[in-house]
Chains A and B, each alone.
Chain A
Amino acid sequence: MTESGSQPTNVVVAGLRAWSTNAIEEVIEFRGETTVVVARKNLRGVAEHCRDDRALQFNLLSDATCVDRFPLEPRYELNYHLVSIPLRQKIRIRVRLSTHDPVVDSLVPVWLGAGWLEREIFDLFGIQFTGHPDLRRILLPDDWEGHPLRKDFPVEGYRDIPAIATRYTRNRP
């Protein structure tokens, strides 16, 4: 499984390396899945190349999600799962972001489907996507405080904090 699975994806890695020598920071192979780590400034360019290159044709953005490795730094890992429907390939593109500067280019201009996926990450992790046409909370209410999927957000929430409790009683006599 690993043998046949890793052979075509290595072509992907080779293709990306041939396109730009410093586009890839690191290649991780685990259980037959290839992860390509790219620098934040290269993300949009790599994504566009993956979509448009004839030898890659990653036309479907299957998924985008974030992992919070708090308290390690860089803390956030964004994972984009790409699928090439014509060539039957999969690859994961990863960008690492630090606590102080969780900002990255939006991929909505590359894949329209990134719109809600990035809104979800913004909502639950507080990552900012520059160039996103409609970056609002999607699952939580607009006045929610904090980003619940961050590791420093308690599983049971902040329900005992007075600031939140008084908000709903403020206008009562």
Chain B
Amino acid sequence: MTTTVETATGPAKTMVLNMGPQHPSTHGVLRIVLELDGETVIKAVPDLGYLHTGIEKSCEDKTYSQAITLTDRMDYLNPLGNNLVYCLAVEKLLGLEVPKRAQYIRVLLVELQRISSHLVWLGTHAIDMGAMSVFLYCFREREEILKIFEFVSGQRMMTSYIRIGGLALEPPTGWIDRVEKFLKMMPGRIDDYESLLTGNRIWLGRLKGVGVISAEDAVAYSVTGPTLRAAGLAYDNRKVFPYSSYDEFEFDVPTSNDSDCFARYMVRVAEMRESLKIIRQAIDKTPAEGPIRSEAPGIIPPAREKMKTEMEALIYHFKIFTEGFSPPAGEAFVTVESPRGELGCFIASDGSPKPLRCHFRSPSYINLQALPKLVEGQLISDVIACIGTIDIVLGEVDR
């Protein structure tokens, strides 16, 4: 389809091009309607909803503990982070305190998840830019992280390991050794990716000065995460509104002032190194023994041994898994820092065992809103770089 429009250089014929929904570089099913003047993008209109599965509606029909498995499936590169934000929101609603040991293990796993998510981002983005080998290296290391998750929880991806009040199971013996092994191996591997990409002329040519958004614009569009930090604003929920004992950890929030695609790449690589630092501290802090769930009869399922010896424990177990528990009426909104930005969970309770409303503030959805701002006036090939460096997961965009 072509139409004539007035541009700065006089009348020009524009073409409307459909990018997606089945386009390899959109990392899912995203459709963007691009209006082009030659190779220059005049207008970009994202069209979403191809993966909409009604997760928020489904949550209203499940008890509080049943809904955890749905949260895994939103952002499938960050299932543990989704579990965490949902559980923190329910715990806030209940006024529940989680044992320190469980909090540290949560931090450790979520930081491993952050590295694995950034690895998938780096690998797929490198493929988009034409560098095949980086993808294979990134997935090699991601596999190690998924093996750790499988060892700890029994599942590679949809772990549902973080539960309301703590964790699902006691982690198996020897799991710390595996994390230690990973910690030893990883810094050198990050150096390898950097030696392949950071000084690479094609990589620099495709990313430097592309997709610039100022910090003011980013905040106005509610953009968070590495995209905002690459614009120079050190807004990180782990520092600003600490949760799960993040205030006890020492780490830096990497920022950059260039706010282009390359700055976002540098910020994410630096974040992987910071995550390694946090994991190191989490290993040192985590006591070898101790409770992994808080004591709250009627809310947290009792230990297996107790159930076999105590009448009350058996009754509680039965009641928790048949009718669920009822938090007091009220609302809770919790935000955490997911690999993509500020991930929030809003739960409204009316005092019944099922949430009245469960809403997720998904960073991908809100960051994607700024895409037209990033790409309008740029070349069509830059659209791919911009979509890549915002780092969207369509499962989370559409929910």
Q: Which residues of A contact B (CB under 8 A)?
A: 30-31, 33, 35, 59-63, 65-69, 77, 79, 81, 85, 88, 90, 92, 111-117, 120, 124, 137-141, 148-149, 153, 155
Give the shortest distance, in Å, between B346 (CB) and chain A (any CB).
Answer: 6
Interfacial chain A residues near B348, Cβ < 8 Å: 67, 77
The answer for the CA separation of A43 and B350 in the assembled complex, in Å, is: 25
- Among residues of A, the one whose C-beta sits closest to the C-beta of B373 is A112
Q: Tell me whether B287 is interfacial, beta carbon within 8 Å.
A: no
* Partner pick for B48 among A33, A111, A138, CB 8 A cutoff: A138
**A116 touches which of B224, B344, B369 (Cβ 8 Å):** B369
Among B54, B224, B333, which residue has its beta carbon within 8 angstroms of that of A33? B333
Return chain A residues, CB-CB under 8 Å to B330: 30-31
With A63-B344, A79-B331, A149-B57: A88-B222 Cβ-Cβ less than 8 Å: no
The answer to whether B240 touches A88 (Cβ under 8 A) is yes
Given contacts A30-B331, A62-B222, is CB(A81)–CB(B346) below 8 Å? Answer: yes
- Asked if B58 lies at the interface with its beta carbon under 8 angstroms from chain A, I say yes
Cα separation A81 to B63 with both chains bound (whole Å): 25
Contact-residue bracket for chain B: 35 or more
Which chain B residues border A77 with CB–CB below 8 Å? 348
CA distance A94 to B333 in the complex (A): 13
A113: chain B residues within 8 A (beta carbon): 220-223, 366, 369
Q: How many angstroms between the C-alpha atoms of A61 and B218 in the bound complex?
A: 11
Contacts of B57 in A (CB 8 A): 148-149, 153, 155
Which 6 pairs from chain A and chain B are nearest by CB?
A113-B222, A63-B361, A139-B49, A65-B359, A30-B330, A139-B52
Bound-complex Cα distance A88 to B348 (A)? 24
List 18 A–B pairs whose Cβ atoms lie within 8 Å, in order of A's numbering: A33-B331, A60-B235, A62-B361, A63-B359, A66-B357, A67-B357, A77-B348, A79-B333, A81-B346, A90-B333, A111-B220, A111-B222, A117-B222, A137-B49, A138-B48, A140-B52, A148-B57, A149-B57
Are A85 and B233 in contact (CB-based, < 8 A)? yes
| Contact among B56, B224, B356 with A69 in the assembled complex (CB-CB below 8 Å) | B356
Interface pair A63/B333, CB less than 8 Å apart: yes
* Majority DSSP secondary structure for residues of A touching B: mixed
The answer, yes or no, to whether B12 is at the interface (CB within 8 Å) is no
Most buried by B among A31, A69, A124, A149: A31
- A92 contacts B54, C-beta separation under 8 Å: no
Measured CB to CB, the closest approach of chain A to B66, in angstroms, equals 13
Taking A30-B330, A111-B222, A138-B48 as given, write out 13 further A-B residue pairs in contact, using a Cβ cutoff of 8 Å, ordered by the A residue number.
A31-B92, A33-B331, A61-B222, A63-B346, A65-B346, A65-B357, A65-B361, A66-B357, A112-B220, A113-B220, A137-B49, A139-B398, A148-B54
Cβ of B169 under 8 Å from chain A: no
Contacts A67-B356, A138-B48, A140-B52; A81 near B333 (Cβ below 8 A)? yes
A63 to B58, CA, bound (A): 20
Does B93 sit at the interface, judged by CB under 8 A? yes
Instruction: Identify B332's interface contact among A31, A114, A140, CB under 8 A.
Output: A31
Q: What residues of B have a CB within 8 angstroms of the CB of A153 in the complex?
A: 57
- Which chain A residues border B240 with CB–CB below 8 Å? 85, 88
- Assess the B220–A139 pair: CB atoms within 8 A: no
- Interface status of B335 (Cβ within 8 A of chain A): yes
Partner of B335, one of A62, A65, A141: A62
Verify B49–A60 contact, CB threshold 8 A. Answer: no
* Interchain nearest-CB distance for A72 vs B (Å): 9
Please pick, from A61, A92, A124, A155, the residue contacting B333 in the complex, using a CB distance under 8 A. A92
| Residue among B58, B220, B223, B233 with the highest chain A CB neighbour number at 10 A | B220
Contacts of A112 in B (CB 8 A): 220-222
Q: Which residues of A contact B49 (CB under 8 A)?
A: 137-141
- With A and B bound together, what is the CA distance between A60 and B335 in angstroms? 13
**A153→B241 CA distance, assembly (Å):** 36
Q: Which residues of A contact B332 (CB under 8 A)?
A: 30-31, 33
